[in-house]
Amino acid sequence: MDRHGSRTVMKAAAIDIGTNTILLLIAEINANGISSVLHDEQVIARLGKGVDADRMINRDTFLRVEGFLRRYKETCNHFNVDTICAVGTSAVRDAKNRDEFIAFIKDNTGIEIEILSGEAEAQWTYRGGISEFIGRAERYSVIDIGGGSTEIITGDLTGILSKVSIDLGSVRITERILKTSPPEVSALINAHDVIISHIPKEHVKNIPSTFAVGVAGTLTTLAALHQQLPEYIPEKVSGYTLTAVDVGSIFGLLKDKSLQQIAAFPQISAGRADILLAGIMILIGYMEISGLKHITVSDRGLRYGIIYRTVEQTFQ
């Protein structure tokens, strides 16, 4: 018997409020973990637009995010969810008016946002990212290229061995450096140098000896592009392996294209076209510095990790 009395199964929701996307995962859970996924969706909300420059979430963003979260709350009600855990990451962490934003969302949707530290974000991203590959290796690494930050984590099945949160993401690199479409060659060189300077060599030197996993939109988009999928097919994306050559080839294909030309690819979701190049460059820098030759894509990540945290808090 658990803390819910005789109940051994419940429905939990995790909402990952990122710099670029907001993701919702609803799952049925028990003491052993996730028994079934009931609902999984994401929207590109661009919460972090402009936050890097002035550290403020603007009023339009307040209203836009409120609308998405109100709809997510309705979805949770539809599935009779027992508990909702919403977490904010880089853009919310960095915003000067984050307390005002959190209060606004709570007052208007009933959803309370927990701000995750960079370390906590890394920890639960790791748990989610490796969850579908358990048994494939003794050691794992996970990279999560977000809009505002990038998390790099290594560990094994007992826990995390090292983790770092780098204050660079696809939205930040785009807003700071890759300001034209297509970018100037000088901007591409500058972006590469900035990315390389932010990745700690000591931290990533053992990555090639691990089962390397990449989560979030940059990686899943690359997997869909490389396979030329007509639409997003989770079972073909998650578990797909990309080589460093594959990633470099796609970068070469996109770097001279305009925003409109990039957006025309059916594999690139609306709202990702303008930041995809920056995300790819972060991945290239990571693979270059670490010497990693291939990486396996997962469409899981932080939202799955938060569900596993809920399992631990509820049943253990």
Last residue of a domain, one of 93, 118, 143: 118
Look at residue 269 in the predicted model and tell me its pLDDT: 82
Token pair for residue 296?
């396996």
In this structure, is residue 127 part of a structural domain? no
Look at residue 140 in the predicted model and tell me its pLDDT: 96
d(Cα 189, Cα 71) in Å, to the nearest integer?
41
Look at residue 166 in the predicted model and tell me its pLDDT: 87
d(Cα 127, Cα 179) in Å, to the nearest integer?
35
pLDDT in tens, 221-263: 999 999 999 888 888 999 999 999 999 999 999 999 999 999 9
Tell whether 183 and 268 lie within a shared domain: yes
Look at residue 137 in the predicted model and tell me its pLDDT: 93
Residue 303 has pLDDT above 70, yes or no: yes
Tell whether 46 and 156 lie within a shared domain: no
Tell how strand 150-156 and strand 113-115 pair up.
unpaired
Tell whether 142 and 280 lie within a shared domain: yes
Q: Classify 14 as helix, strand or coil.
A: strand
Residue 292 has pLDDT above 90, yes or no: yes
Tell whether 254 and 171 lie within a shared domain: yes
* Mean pLDDT computed over 256-277: 90
Whole-structure pTM value: 0.86
Q: Classify 23 as helix, strand or coil.
A: strand
Tell whether 143 and 280 lie within a shared domain: yes
Which residues lie below 8 Å from residue 202, measured CB to CB, with a gap of 6+? none
Tell whether 19 and 161 lie within a shared domain: no
In this structure, is residue 223 part of a structural domain? yes
Last residue of a domain, one of 96, 118, 140: 118
Write the DSSP string, 106-157: HHHH-PPEEEPPHHHHHHHHHHHHHGGGTTS-SEEEEEEE-SS-EEEEEEET
Tell whether 167 and 246 lie within a shared domain: yes
Residue 48 has pLDDT above 80, yes or no: no
In this structure, is residue 40 part of a structural domain? yes
Look at residue 4 in the predicted model and tell me its pLDDT: 47
In this structure, is residue 177 part of a structural domain? yes
* Mean pLDDT computed over 269-286: 92
User: What is the number of other CB atoms lying within 10 angstroms of the CB of residue 32?
Assistant: 9
In this structure, is residue 311 part of a structural domain? no
Tell whether 287 and 169 lie within a shared domain: yes
| 305, burial (CB in 10 Å: exposed 0-12, middle 13-18, buried 19+) | buried
Average pLDDT of every residue of the chain: 91
Query: What percent of the chain has pLDDT above 70?
Result: 97
| 197, burial (CB in 10 Å: exposed 0-12, middle 13-18, buried 19+) | exposed
Helix, strand, coil share of the chain (percent; to 5): 45, 25, 30
In this structure, is residue 314 part of a structural domain? no
The single-letter code of the amino acid at 132 is E
Tell whether 106 and 244 lie within a shared domain: no
CATH number reported for the structural domain that contains residue 245 in this entry: 3.30.420.150
Tell whether 62 and 99 lie within a shared domain: yes
User: What is the number of other CB atoms lying within 10 angstroms of the CB of residue 67?
Assistant: 14
CA dihedral 223, 225, 226, 231 (to 10 degrees): 80
pLDDT in tens, 49-92: 766 667 888 888 899 999 999 999 999 999 999 999 999 987 78
Tell whether 103 and 29 lie within a shared domain: yes
CATH number reported for the structural domain that contains residue 74 in this entry: 3.30.420.40
d(Cα 161, Cα 257) in Å, to the nearest integer?
40
Tell whether 111 and 139 lie within a shared domain: no
In this structure, is residue 55 part of a structural domain? yes
Residue 7 has pLDDT above 70, yes or no: no
In this structure, is residue 239 part of a structural domain? yes
pLDDT in tens, 99-158: 999 999 999 999 999 999 878 888 899 999 999 999 999 999 999 998 888 989 999 988
Look at residue 51 in the predicted model and tell me its pLDDT: 65
Quote the number of domains for the chain.
2
Expressed as residue numbers, the domain containing 195 is: 132-298
